[in-house]
Amino acid sequence: MEKRPLLAYIGIAYLWTWVTILPLLLQKRGLVDLGLPDAWEAVGAFGPFIAAYVVIRRTEGAAGIAAFWQNLTHWRVGRGALALTVLSPVAFLLLAVVLVTVQTGSPPSLDALATGRLSTLHAGLDLVLVAALLQSLGEEPGWRGYLLPKMLERFRTLPATLLLFPVWWLWHLPFFLGRPEFGLPQFFGFGLGILAASVWLTFLWERTRSIFVAVLWHAVLNITRGIALGFSTGMFLAYGMVVTVGALGIIVWWLVRRR
C-alpha cells in the first residue's frame, strides 16, 4: 500500500462497493430474496470514503487523517464559490426547462412532476437523503478528496480529470447491473454525464480545495437531476446536455489558460 497508494485506494474502493452491492444486485435480478431495501445502495456508495480513510491512515498517519477531516468540513471558501456550488445545478435545471419549452412549445407540466417518480414523500426523501446526501458524502471524500489531488500532483488539470473519469465511471457498474431495465446505451450515456461532472468538480476543486464543496455540488446536482427526470425523460436529457455544454466550456478555458 505504501508503494502504490493510488492502486490501493482504487482497489479498496471497488472491493467495498462491489462486494456490498452484490447481494442487492442479485436480489434485483431475481436470483435471491434477501429483503434488502433500495437504500442499501448507500452502503456501497461509501467505498471511496472508506478507501481514502484507510489509505491515508496507512500512508500519512494521524496528521493525514486530521487534514482529511479538516478538508471535509472546510466550507469557508468565499461567497462566490459557495454560490457557484449551489446555484450552478439549479441553473442547469432552469436552462433545461427553457430548452424543453423551446422544443415542445410549452413549459414542462408540474402535474407530471406531481404524479411521476417523485409523487410520494418516500420518493422525495429517497432522492434527497440516499441519492443525494449519502451518495455524495460516500463518494467525494475519495474521488475529489484523495484521488484528484494525487493526480494533480503528477498531471495537468485536464489529463488528471480524464484519467480519473473512467475509474469513477466503471466504479458505478454494479449499480447499473442491479437495474435490469438499463443496458449499454444507458451506461454509456451515464458515462458522458460522469465525464461532464468530473470536469465541473475539478473546476470547483481548483478554486476551493474543499471536500465539503465537492459533496455539496454533487448532492445538489443529484437532486436537480432527479427533479428533471421526475418531469420527463426529455427534461432529463436536456439537463444532461446543459451540464455537458458547460463542461466543454470549462475544457476550452483550461486549454486557453494553458496556452
Res 256: pLDDT: 92
Query: Chunked in runs of 10, what are the mean pLDDT values of the chain (259 residues)?
Result: 87 98 93 91 96 96 94 91 96 96 87 74 86 95 97 95 97 92 89 97 96 97 94 93 97 89
Between CA 71 and CA 77, with CA 74 as vertex, the angle to 5 degrees is: 125
Residues 6 or more apart whose Cβ sits within 8 Å of residue 207: 77, 81
Q: Which residue has the cell 461567497?
A: 79
Which conformational region is residue 36 in: left (phi greater than 0), alpha (psi within -120 to 50 degrees), or beta? beta
Q: At 168, which helix (H) or strand (E)?
A: helix 157-171
Query: According to the model, what pLDDT value does residue 138 have?
Result: 97
Entry pTM: 0.94
So what's the pLDDT on residue 257? 85
Instruction: Tell me how far apart the alpha carbons of residues 6 and 19 are, in angstroms, rounded to a whole number.
Output: 20
CA 119 to chain centroid, in Å, comes to: 24
